[in-house]
Each structure stands twice: as C-alpha cells, then as structure tokens.
C-alpha cells in the first residue's frame, strides 16, 4: 500500500481540504495474491540470485525464472545482445541447465530470498513440454504459477515457433495441463508476431490455460551498415523495449475483448508507471518488465511508485480497478 495526501479545493476556491488517501497496489489473479502487479519477466533476473545484491526480489510482485527445459541448453553464439533505437535486440537462446539440476542447485537460494516465484519452461518438442511439466509438478509447492514459453524466437526452431500455430499451442497446453492438473495455474506465453493473436490465444484458452503472458520479444533483425552484417551472432533475434509497447497494448486489448475473464500478464515496452497503468487499462491484470530492468535493475521501485502516484492523482484506490477500463471510440 502507498499512502499520500491530496489537496481538494472547495467549489468557491476559498479553502483547501487535505485528504489522506491509500492506494492499494496489492492484487490477486488466478488465485495468486501479489503485493503489487509488476512482475519480473522471464530472463530479466536470470536463473538464480544473480541480481539480488542489487535489488531485493520482493520489490516485484513476483519473479519469473528464465525458461528451463528437460535438457542442458548451451544457447546461441555471441554476440547475444545489441542496442538499437528505442530498445534492444537479443539472441541469448535460452541457455540453462536441466530443470532438475537447477532445482537441486538454485531453487533454495530463491526460496530464501522470500520472492514469489513463477517457474518457466520450454522445449524443442511436444514431449519436452510434458517432461518439463512433470518435473515441475513434483516441486509445485515452491512456485505460485508455471509459465509455458512456446514463443521464444531464439531457438533452433527460429521462425517456426509453436506460438505460430493454434493447434500446436492447444496441444502443448493440454499436455502441460494433464501433468500439472490443479497444482499450479499455467500461463501460456505467446508471440505478437502473428496475424491473429485472438485465434492463437483461443487454442490455449480452449485447452484450459489459466492465463496468458502477452508477449515474448518480437522477431527482428538489425544490421551494422558498415559491415553489412547482423549485430547478433545468430543473425536475427528478439526485439524488446519501448518500440513494441503500442503493439503489446493492441494485442492485449484484442485478447481481453475476446476473452473477458482470462488472466493476462502484459509484457513489452513498459518503462514507467504510466505505461503500466495504460497496459492494465488495455486489459492486463499484471505487468511484466524486462528491458527496463536490464537498463536499471532497480527500475521496479520507480515504476511501482509512479503507478501508485498515477492512481492517487486520478482517484484510483485499488490498482486492480485499472484493468480493462480503456474507452475506445464507438
């Protein structure tokens, strides 16, 4: 909760009344209770406690682990990250240990931090997703949700993402749901680089997804004109940052309009409290940040304060009241 004072002038302007007002940033979605709606998006905090000396992970409503698979993944060749106007490019490629090895070596560190943890998985095949979900389910008491990443643009599949096919999204959701049951809410992470996000999202919703994460990085390519070569070792990669924000807002709005009840974590281009408020107005229940964290690991503190200030200045008592309040022209 954030407390502040608001000065209200009388109708005749002769006096000013000072009012105390409390803004409630705590929220609940898919039976998950969080202290605030700003989530560390997958990949932004690494696999373990890498950034905990810089930022207390409890400043986030929750932190999402970088996606892990039921196998060791080396990732892509360097360079893996590059700057570009209004954002950044990356082709990190989901490097990481086998899920079970990560659980044995790193999970306890995260638990000791007091952070609320969203586990995240990925795979190269349908069977990989089922295997990953089965392992996570055995340790479900350590997590508040499971994010299923079907949309990373930086894997061997490249431009052939599962997230481009409604049938594939539906099948993966069914496989994961069969393994997890009701032990964890599952959020399917989709891509904005599709012609109809509502059609793709319908596959996840039909298969029983508890929520959606919208979106992963967008497919992109940046070259150095002096060398005529891509700035990333893999060539193309994922684009993130302020430049994708309008695209994310539109996608979230379309999905919310089609599926009024589905919980949504909106991710992409959020760099201020006003951005967070706007994305929630478009339909997001929670807001994920990543590029803002890369620029400043403590950005979440500023964003939450700005969000609270925005709510205070506009008379919003509970942050959850912002969700799906956009007023579109008729």
Q: Strands of 81-84's sheet, edge to edge?
A: 81-84, 87-90, 237-240, 218-220
pLDDT at 50: 81
State the alpha helices, DSSP H only, in 158-221: 166-180, 197-206
Sign of CA dihedral 222, 269, 78, 92: negative
Domains recognised in the chain with CATH numbers:
2-321 (3.20.20.70)
Query: Quick one: DSSP state of residue 83?
Result: E
Q: How many CB atoms lie within 10 A of CB 115?
A: 22
Residues 83/76, Cβ–Cβ less than 8 Å: no
pLDDT at 20: 62
pLDDT of the chain, 330 residues: tens digit per residue: 655 555 444 455 555 544 567 999 999 999 999 999 999 999 888 778 888 889 999 999 999 999 999 999 988 888 999 988 889 998 888 889 999 999 999 999 999 999 999 999 999 999 999 999 999 999 999 999 999 999 976 455 555 789 999 999 999 999 999 999 999 999 999 999 999 999 999 999 999 999 999 999 899 999 999 999 999 998 988 899 999 999 999 999 999 999 999 999 999 999 999 999 999 999 999 999 999 998 899 999 999 999 999 999 999 999 999 999 999 998
Which of 91, 218, 94 minimizes the C-alpha distance to 147?
94
* 3 state SS of 313: helix
Q: How many CB atoms lie within 10 A of CB 166?
A: 18
Report the catalytic residues.
152
How many residues appear in the chain? 330
Ranges of beta strands (E only) in the chain are 2-9, 16-23, 27-29, 32-34, 38-40, 62-64, 81-84, 87-90, 117-121, 145-149, 186-190, 211-214, 218-220, 223-224, 229-230, 237-240, 264-267, 286-289
Angle of the 126-137 helix axis to the 166-180 helix axis, nearest 10? 30
Sign of CA dihedral 253, 255, 261, 267: negative
Residues 44/289, Cβ–Cβ less than 8 Å: yes
pLDDT at 8: 42
Give DSSP secondary structure letters for 235-300.
BSEEEESGGGHHHHHHHHHHHHHH-TTS-EEEESS--SHHHHHHHHHHT-SEEEESHHHHH-TTHH
Residues 94/298, Cβ–Cβ less than 8 Å: no
pLDDT at 9: 44
Residues 216/163, Cβ–Cβ less than 8 Å: yes
Beta bridge partners of 5: 20
Which of 188, 175, 182, 203 minimizes the C-alpha distance to 42?
188
Residues 272/266, Cβ–Cβ less than 8 Å: no
Q: Is 322 exposed, middle or buried (0-12, 13-18, 19+ CB in 10 A)?
A: buried
Residues 120/63, Cβ–Cβ less than 8 Å: no
């Amino acid at each position: 909760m954030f407390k502040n004072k608001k000065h209200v002038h009388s109708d005749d302007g002769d006096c000013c009344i000072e009012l105390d007002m409390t803004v409630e940033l705590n929220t609940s979605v898919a039976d998950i209770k969080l202290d605030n709606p700003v989530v560390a998006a997958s990949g932004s905090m690494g696999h373990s406690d890498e950034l905990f000396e810089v930022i207390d992970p409890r400043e986030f409503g929750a932190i999402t682990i970088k996606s892990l698979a039921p196998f060791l993944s080396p990732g892509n060749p360097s360079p893996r990250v590059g700057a570009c106007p209004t954002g950044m490019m990356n082709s990190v490629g989901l490097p990481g240990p086998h899920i079970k090895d990560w659980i044995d070596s790193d999970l306890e560190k995260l638990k000791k931090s007091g952070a609320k943890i969203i586990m995240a998985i990925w795979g190269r095949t349908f069977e990989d997703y089922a295997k990953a979900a089965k392992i996570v389910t055995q340790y479900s008491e350590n997590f508040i949700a499971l994010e299923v990443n079907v949309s990373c643009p930086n894997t061997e599949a490249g431009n052939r993402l599962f997230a481009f096919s409604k049938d594939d999204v539906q099948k993966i959701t069914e496989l994961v749901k069969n393994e997890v049951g009701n032990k964890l809410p599952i959020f399917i992470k989709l891509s904005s680089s599709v012609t109809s996000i509502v059609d793709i999202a319908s596959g996840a919703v039909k298969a029983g997804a508890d929520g959606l994460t919208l979106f992963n990085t967008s497919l992109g390519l940046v070259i150095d004109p002096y060398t005529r070569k891509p700035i990333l070792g893999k060539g193309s990669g994922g684009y993130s940052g302020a430049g994708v924000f309008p695209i994310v807002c539109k996608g979230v709005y379309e999905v919310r309009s089609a599926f009024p009840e589905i919980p949504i974590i909106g991710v992409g281009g959020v760099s201020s409290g006003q951005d967070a408020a706007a994305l929630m107005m478009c339909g997001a229940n929670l807001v994920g940040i990543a590029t803002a964290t890369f620029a400043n690991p403590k950005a979440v503190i500023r964003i939450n304060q700005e969000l609270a200030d925005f709510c205070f200045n506009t008379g919003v008592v509970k942050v959850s009241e912002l969700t799906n309040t956009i007023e579109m022209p008729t």
